[in-house]
Every structure is written in C-alpha cells, then in structure tokens.
C-alpha cells in the first residue's frame, strides 16, 4: 500500500478534531531558517517562558536533522475570529488563550497516527504551549507531556514559507478583528 494514500485519511481526522483544513505535504516542503528562531529570541514575549519555546526547544540545526528523518507531514489549519465567544485576542495581540485548541488537535493527531502504526509521528504547533497558566520551566517536569509540543517557529520552521509551499496564503495580522489562522504540523515517517 502507498503510505501517502494511507496517511491521507488523517486529514479527515484533523477536520473532525476541529481543523478547518488539513493536507499531506512532503517533508522537503518544510522550510527551516535560523532567522525564525532569532525572531523568537528577540521580539516574542514567550521566549524562555515555556518548555516548548526557546531556549528549551530543538535548535534550527537539530530541526533540519529531525526533518531529514521524515518523509511526510500532515499540515492543518485552525481559524479563530475575534467574533468568537471567548475571543482569541481578549487583551490585545498577545492574548491567545483559545489557541490551546491547536495544541490539543496536534497532540490528538499525533496519538491517532502513532496508534495506526507510525511510531515516530511527532506533532508541532504554531505559537507557544498554553496548556498551563504558568510553565514549570523545568525540563522533565512538564505537567502535560502527553500534549505539550513545541512551536514550529521555536524550532526555526518558517511557517509562512512552509504553508505557502503547501498552497496556503500567508498573512500578517494587524487587527484584532481579523480572522486568524494558526497551523499545526505532524511529522510522519
């Protein structure tokens, strides 16, 4: 059986879990750049505040080596709007509490893919892990190791370039009234 055909069924699983869209991409489409991690270190308010963010997450150099061990990825999109009842951007652009949904979808997809025989499936999200109000910041002491996954950006993945290679349109959000799309990725051998 063609593994690509077998994996496509997980796109529907992603949609059932709450993703607006999902598609299988070649691992070669994943763009890793040092400058992305630099933006995490200088400019992101989450730097050093979560085990899934730098300096705790894999470096871009490690990420390239990791991705080289995979053939495919499942890229999924989740839409958020300020019109939703809980509002993604309650207190401005950095209040993204509802985006924990992306973390949960990614972890559940990884689990489903793993249980289907792809033992090295590995999920990543867009943005920080927000499963806890405050991270322990102690490696090995995560309260939610079954769900906490690193941000793609923290690993040096250029999400904009990657999603564009996959056929999605990249956008810079400048207004709290925008519909925001966040992405997650599950690497699959």
As a 3-state breakdown, the chain gives helix, strand, coil percent values, each rounded to 5, of 35, 15, 50
Residue among 188, 162, 184, 189 at smallest CA distance from 80: 184
pLDDT at 68 over 80: yes
Spatial neighbors of 130 by CB under 8 A, at least 6 apart, are 96, 97, 99, 100, 103
Q: Which two tokens stand for residue 7?
A: 């994996």
- pLDDT band of residue 6 (cuts 50, 70, 90) is confident
Residues of the chain above pLDDT 70, percent: 87
Q: What pLDDT, on a 0 to 100 scale, did the predictor assign at position 86? A: 47
Q: Are 172 and 12 in contact (CB under 8 A)?
A: no
Q: What pLDDT, on a 0 to 100 scale, did the predictor assign at position 97? A: 60
What are the strands of the beta sheet with 180-188, ordered from one edge? 21-26, 72-80, 180-188, 122-124
Dihedral, 97, 78, 117, 158 alpha carbons, nearest 10: -90
pLDDT tens string 127-177: 888 888 889 999 889 999 999 999 999 999 999 999 999 999 998 877 767
Backbone φ and ψ of 53, nearest 5°: -120, 165
Q: What pLDDT, on a 0 to 100 scale, did the predictor assign at position 127? A: 84
Pairing of strands 180-188, 72-80: antiparallel
Domain boundaries, the chain: 3-188
Cα 188 to chain center, whole Å? Answer: 14
- pLDDT band of residue 116 (cuts 50, 70, 90) is very high
């Amino acid at each position: 059986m063609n593994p690509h055909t077998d994996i496509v069924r997980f796109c529907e699983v992603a949609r059932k879990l709450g993703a607006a869209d999902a598609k299988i991409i070649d691992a070669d489409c994943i763009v890793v750049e040092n400058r992305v991690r630099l933006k995490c270190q200088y400019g992101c308010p989450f730097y050093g505040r979560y085990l899934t963010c730098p300096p705790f997450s894999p470096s871009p150099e490690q990420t390239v080596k990791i991705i080289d061990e995979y053939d495919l990825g499942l890229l999924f999109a989740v839409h958020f709007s300020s019109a939703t009842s809980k509002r993604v951007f309650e207190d401005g652009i950095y209040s993204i509490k509802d985006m924990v949904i992306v973390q949960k979808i990614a972890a559940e997809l990884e689990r489903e893919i793993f249980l289907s025989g792809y033992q090295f499936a590995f999920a990543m999200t867009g943005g920080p892990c927000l499963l806890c109000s405050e991270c322990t910041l102690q490696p090995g002491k995560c309260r939610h190791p079954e769900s906490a996954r690193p941000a793609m950006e923290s690993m040096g993945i250029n999400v904009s370039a990657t999603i564009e290679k996959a056929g999605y349109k990249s956008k810079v959000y400048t207004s709290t009234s925008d519909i925001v799309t966040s992405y997650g990725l599950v690497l699959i051998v």
